[in-house]
Structure 1
C-alpha cells in the first residue's frame, strides 16, 4: 500500500550528528563554520590506542586524511578532530584508525556519514584558511571570470630540420583574478586579515557554478572604495594561484571559534575556566 504524503508538509531537517554502527566515531555538523566535529572513542579497546587517525571519503571515493587528525592524540582512548575541508552539498563519510604506542595501525572503524549544506546567496563562496580556520569567511564574489593555465615547454631548433623539438612538461594549475565585495569596515578588516594570513585558502561554492573545491594562494590585492569617503563599501581584486592541498601530517588541531584566544575573554585564567565545570571535550567539540 502506498504512503500518502502531504505535499505542503515541510521536508525533514538533515541530520546534524551521525554515529558509526560500531559506536567508535561520532561526527557532528558545524554549520557556522562549514565544518564537522569528529569524536573517536576507543576507551574500551584493547589495547587503548595512543593516537587516532581521522579519514574522510568524499564523492570521488578517495580516502584522504583530515587536517589536525593525522594523527590526533587520544588520551584515555578519546580523540578529537575537526574537518574544515569536507565537501559541501554532498554526502561524505568519516573513518577512524587506532594507532598504538608502538605505531601499529589497527583496523578501520565503520563509517559515519553526513551531508554538509552549501552556502546561500549572496555570500555563496567560502574562503577557508587551512592553517588558521578562525579567519575563514563566507564572502560575496562578484566576478571570477577567467582562469589561465600556463604551459611549460622547452623548444629546441634542430639544424637542417624544419620542425623544432619541443619538450612538454605538466601544465600549471590555473590562476586568475577574483573580485570580492565587502559592505562594512568590519568585513573589510576580516577579509584583509584572511587574504594576508599567509595561509593556503580553500574555496568552496555551489556545485551548480561548476567551480570545484580548490586550494589557492592570494597574490596582488587591490582595494577600491565603491562610493564616497564615508562609504564603507570596498571592492577587492585578488590574483589567485591554485596549489596542491597542503600536507596534513603533524598539522595541529585547529577548531574555528574555539581557540585559546577566543576563550580568553570569557575565562582569563585557568581558575575561571575550571569554575565553569566544562571539560576539554565541551570546549573543543561542544560536548
Structure 2
C-alpha cells in the first residue's frame, strides 16, 4: 500500500537524543561541534546482569553505504567502570543517519548483549555561509566551521610505469590504483578565529566534512603548504581573512586505545569553575554529565 504524505505537512525533526530500547546506551547531539555524545549506563532501566563487573565497552558506528561498521575513536574500547561510562564521536558523517552499537566487556574478557541506537548529525543548511567543517583529531577543541572560497576540483594522481615497445606504436604501461583525492582548500574566517585556524592547520590529522549535496566525501588529511592569513575585507569593517592549504589525504588513524576527548571540555576546567569537590558533585549529578559537561 502506498504511503500518502500531505505536501503541507511540516518536515520531521530528528530527535536530539535517543536511547536504546534496553535503556543502556544513549546518543545525544552536540550541535555546537557537530558531534555525538554516547553515554553508557548498564545499571539503568532493567540492569544488565553483572553490570558492576563491566569494565569497558566497544562502540562501533555503521555509516550509510559502508559494508562494515567502524570503531568510534574513544569507544575502542571506552572505560565503563562499574557499568557506567561515556564516549564521544566527532567523526560521524553529516546529514545522514548512522547507527551505533555498544557491546559491554566484563572484567574477565567476556562480552554481554549489544545495544543500538540511530541518530542524524545535522549538516550545514543549504545556503549557509559556513559550509565546511575542519575537525582536528588530536585537538578537537580547535575545530572550526568555515566558509569555502572558490572550491577547487580534486585531483587523483596516477601511478604508472611506462616502457617503449620496440616496433610498436604503443607504450607498455604498468599501473596501480590511483591516489586518493587531493584538494586545495581556501576558507574565509573572521578575525576572532585567525589564531585558532592557524593552530588548527598545524595540529596534525584533520577531518573535512560538508553537507551531502556537495558530493565531497568526508576526508582525513594533513595540510601541506599553508598560505595565510590573507586579509580580504569581505566582512566589512571587521575584515575577513583567508587561509589556503593543500589537503593531502591519509588513511583514518587507528582508534584502538584512544582516550575520551570532548571538544571544548576538560577536567582541567573544573578548578576555575568550582572551589570544592562538593560543588562539582552538586553541578554534575552523574558521571556522564561530568565527562561531557552536561551534554549527556
Scaled by the length of structure 2, the TM-score of the pair is 0.84
Judged with a 3 Å threshold, the aligned counterparts in structure 2 of structure 1 residues 11 and 147 are, in CA distance, closer, same or farther, namely closer
Q: Secondary structure at the match of 1:86?
A: coil
Q: How far 1:71 sits from its partner (Å)?
A: 0.1
**Corresponding residue for residue 69 of structure 2:** 63
Distance in 1 of aligned mates of 2:111 and 2:253: 23
Closer, same or farther in 2 for the Cα pair 1:161/1:5, shift >3 Å? closer
Q: Give the secondary structure class of the aligned counterpart of 1:193.
A: helix
Residue in structure 2 matched with residue 220 of structure 1 by the alignment: 225
Alignment of 1:104-123 (within 5 A): 104-109=110-115, 111-120=116-125, 121-123=128-130
Asked if the contact 1:225/1:233 (under 8 Å) is kept, the reply is: yes
CA deviation after TM superposition for structure 1 residue 159, in Å: 6.0
Shift of 1:103: 2.5
CA RMSD of aligned residues (A): 2.7
Instruction: Output one character per residue of 1:33-66: Cα deviation in whole Å (capped at 9) or x when no partner.
Output: 1011111222333333211011111212531110
Counterpart pick for 1:258 among 259, 265, 274: 265
Q: Which residue of 2 aligns with 1:90?
A: 96
List gaps (5 residues or longer) in structure 1.
none
1:205 and 2:205 correspond: no
Q: Give the match for residue 289 of structure 2.
A: 282
Distance 2:164 2:58 in 1: 53
CA distance 1:4–1:60, shift in 2 (3 Å)? closer
* Whole-angstrom distance in 2 between the partners of 1:182 and 1:10: 34
Secondary structure of 1:143's counterpart equals: coil
SS in 1 for 2:224: strand
Task: Could you tell me which runs of 5 or more consecutive residues in structure 2 were left unpaired when the two chains were aligned.
Answer: none
Aligned to 2:57: 52
Secondary structure at the aligned position of 1:23 is classed as coil
Residue matched to 2:248: 241
Give the deviation of 1:128 after TM superposition. 1.0
The equivalent position to 1:128 in structure 2, one of 123, 128, 135, is 135
State the Cα deviation string for residues 93-141 of structure 1 (Å, max 9, x = none).
Answer: 11101112232333422x2111111113101111111122111111111
- Asked if residue 36 in structure 1 is aligned to residue 36 in structure 2, the reply is yes
Deviation at 1:220, TM superposition (A): 0.8
Corresponding pairs, count: 281
The structural deviation recorded for 1:269 is 6.8
Q: Distance in 1 between matches of 2:275 and 2:168?
A: 77
**What is the TM-score of this pair, normalised by structure 1?**
0.87
